[in-house]
Structure 1
């Protein structure tokens, strides 16, 4: 199958959305599918206000449509609600092509945290974007229920996976970990306001706090929390060693739709502490993840869990299953519809 993936989130960004998309694309290509990615690196772009790592493509329907015309895909998936996503959506509606979308991030909450606008003001835009899609791919039941409450009911389950060859409990911890007071509490992810990292750094449970990742809030948090340890971005075996060497993984976000880092930590045998919110409520099972409104309480409970039970929980996820779900959710473009669309585009 020839699949066009349109996304405003792509390399060199590194976050849960990009990691999900790049990993699933690699899996699909390994199966013989032809996947063409339309991403900001193909266009002139500008940094997103308040988050310079995210690039916003300076383009519209004409250029995105020309690319899609040249690809002549069998299916179109629009991953994000950014400029490229809106342009591809217009293209599909104009030519009568079915398409799918995905709800990767709590976009209304993210906008609210950065602008002060109420999330309720953003939901009409989200409904408008996703309503014409054949299916909206969503990672968890809690988020599906939220979308249903906002009038989006054409939903399809698309979970996430773990690279079980990389995220294992066998790596020695970083040298720094031998110097730190236990328990070592670890955060991995973007260092940005919507991740609520201050709640992690402010929690009162004894031990050391380690942050892995980068982002627009990194310099500010380094200055505000000199006792914490900020290691920057790590990946592959170096990241797995951080997971495996920590005593507990803390996930302070209240706005994520899944939380890929939680299952990576579990696959390394490390218990998870989080708030009882969408993402953790769907991912964490008793004995591997603890949830409480006070992070201190969740951390204390998580530290009692068996690492073997955590490892077993993490290994229930795979990228092969995630790719299967993605393919099942696609909306193939019938050949006659495609030919009519190409004639309309040429007219």
Structure 2
């Protein structure tokens, strides 16, 4: 497939420390390097201060690293061959509306488990109400009120909204087998392609010893690394409780949490309650180009979240040769491999025991690291790009076939 025009729509602004923004940046970079015409619509400052010409005017949400887009896409020229929607926020909904108005096939990547996140973030319900209004679904006041009620009523209403997304999509991309299985909750589904994102780590000149010195960590200390937000849906409480148990076994161990901007005071409070504050290093988000140094400095990556759809940091860690231990068995399957990641039950005792095994058993540490690196090597960026372009080609063919049938 040559010379494809793709318009990407994403509500995570460029540079935001989350998997969606990272995945979109990697995807766009690969597509452009392969010679495709790519437009990226993401939130930008209200006065369009960003260099990206397709930046969407937006306003920041106070005390949150989020910007709410104010999209307007009617004048897009030339019309893209594919609309790729990454998020169901205002920008993503704008992409769906544009695609329907111009009869452009939609590929949607289901990056975020909105049903799981709705228990933690009120903005999921607000965003769902906005989406229903913008998509002109004809909801009644009772429908909107269901979003405010926790439990089965809210979930059923969110599933109903998600079904509307599916009905407007030619192909849905699931970034993991776990995500693909979760989509079965919808009554009607377009073809589902499981296509994990491939991330390339840039070389970083900072070495293991130098970074440890800067963090005041002894060179011989076992280091547990956690990467990403420490907000409640990522379960920092489980991570810190497990580390407290690990510390009783390995008193010199240190926990380095990279990417912690929101919820810092709560993390410190939980660390103090667990008696591990002295062994904790909190690092604010760092440029992606520096992440290789943190993976190289650590001895194991701890992944405590059970709400993620993919866990890009696990793919990055494995590519860097760092063993991974996760508390979500549903994400244990590696891309393009039959081998499984080392996982535990999502409780502090089990998670701590699994981390301890990797840190105290050199042979297991080596085996887990080698299996992860082999998986990363077998699923290259070119593999990912090939699967993505095939999905685009399939979406275009499927939409053309549907249009022909309707015309007859």
- Normalising by the smaller structure, the TM-score range is 0.7 to 0.9
2:155 is aligned with 1:120: yes
Shift, 1:179, TM fit:
2.4
Q: Report the Cα distance in structure 1 between the residues aligned to 2:170 and 2:225, rounded to whole angstroms.
A: 39
Which of 180-189 and 24-33 deviates more?
A: 180-189
Change (3 A) 1:266 1:336: closer
Cα RMSD of the aligned pairs, angstroms, is: 3.0
Q: Please show how residues 151-170 of structure 1 align to structure 2 within 5 Å.
A: 151=187, 152-163=189-200, 166=203
Q: What is the TM-score with the length of structure 2 in the denominator?
A: 0.73
Please tell me whether Structure 1 or Structure 2 has the larger radius of gyration of its CA atoms.
2
Change (3 A) 1:171 1:285: farther
Q: 1:291 maps to what in 2? A: 344
Q: 1:20 maps to what in 2? A: 23
Shift, 1:98, TM fit:
1.9
Given that residues 166 and 240 in structure 1 are in contact (C-alpha distance below 8 angstroms), is that contact kept between their aligned partners in structure 2? yes
Number of aligned positions between the proteins: 331
> Residue 129 of structure 1 is aligned with which of 165, 168, 180?
165
**Gapped regions of structure 2 (runs ≥ 5):** 45-54, 123-148, 248-252, 272-276, 402-408
Change (3 A) 1:287 1:8: closer
Specify the SS of the correspondent of 1:3: strand
Q: Report the Cα distance in structure 2 between the residues aligned to 1:163 and 1:66, rounded to whole angstroms.
A: 34
Q: 1:8 maps to what in 2? A: 11
Which of 72-81 and 298-307 deviates more?
A: 298-307
Q: Report the Cα distance in structure 1 between the residues aligned to 2:282 and 2:37, rounded to whole angstroms.
A: 39
Given that residues 246 and 352 in structure 2 are in contact (C-alpha distance below 8 angstroms), is that contact kept between their aligned partners in structure 1? yes
Q: Report the Cα distance in structure 1 between the residues aligned to 2:192 and 2:20, rounded to whole angstroms.
A: 18
Which of 129-138 and 90-99 deviates more?
A: 90-99
Q: 1:185 maps to what in 2? A: 224
Shift, 1:195, TM fit:
0.8
Q: Please show how residues 1-347 of structure 1 align to structure 2 within 5 Å.
A: 1-41=4-44, 42-48=55-61, 52-59=64-71, 63-67=72-76, 70-115=77-122, 117-118=150-151, 120-121=155-156, 122-151=158-187, 152-163=189-200, 166=203, 172=209, 174=211, 175=213, 176=215, 178-179=217-218, 182-203=221-242, 204-206=245-247, 207-225=253-271, 226-227=277-278, 228-236=280-288, 238-282=290-334, 289-293=342-346, 294-303=350-359, 304=361, 305=364, 306=366, 307-330=369-392, 331-332=395-396
**Gapped regions of structure 1 (runs ≥ 5):** 338-347
Q: What is the TM-score with the length of structure 1 in the denominator?
A: 0.85
Which one has more relative contact order, counting CA pairs under 8 Å at least 6 apart? 1
Change (3 A) 1:153 1:76: closer
Q: Report the Cα distance in structure 1 between the residues aligned to 2:205 and 2:301, rounded to whole angstroms.
A: 15
